Amino acid sequence: MTDLALYITNKNYSSWSLRIWLLMRALDIPFEEVMVPMTGEAQIPGMTGISPTGKVPCLVDRDQGGLAIWESTAITEYLNELFPECGVWPA
């Protein structure tokens, strides 16, 4: 089992956050949801220490030493590699 944290902002206003959240929920991929307030550039103090861009969504794999993947397409590709049995991408 992988220890994943998904940093997102309000899903009602951020389709980028919503799409990764929906993907992970639909495929039953376990993760911790960390809400980031929408202020300025959707940053929380220390967010740039998590994601180099300081923006969301950002997936952190704690089992890989806190590996951070940002941008929804990159996160989707990473999830496909991590959970090939889930069928993130069509065969």
Which tens digits make up the pLDDT trace of 49-81?
Answer: 788 887 889 999 999 999 999 999 999 999 999
Those residues with Cβ within 8 angstroms of residue 47's Cβ, 6 or more apart along the chain or in another chain: 7, 36, 54, 55, 56, 58
Helices in the chain by DSSP H: which ranges?
Answer: 15-26, 47-50, 72-82
CB 3 within 8 A of CB 10: no
Instruction: Specify the pLDDT at position 8.
Output: 93
Q: For domain 4-86, which architecture applies?
A: 3-Layer(aba) Sandwich (3.40)
Q: What pTM was computed for the model?
A: 0.87
With tokens 């959707």, the residue in question is 42
Which tens digits make up the pLDDT trace of 1-33?
Answer: 579 999 998 898 889 999 999 999 999 999 999
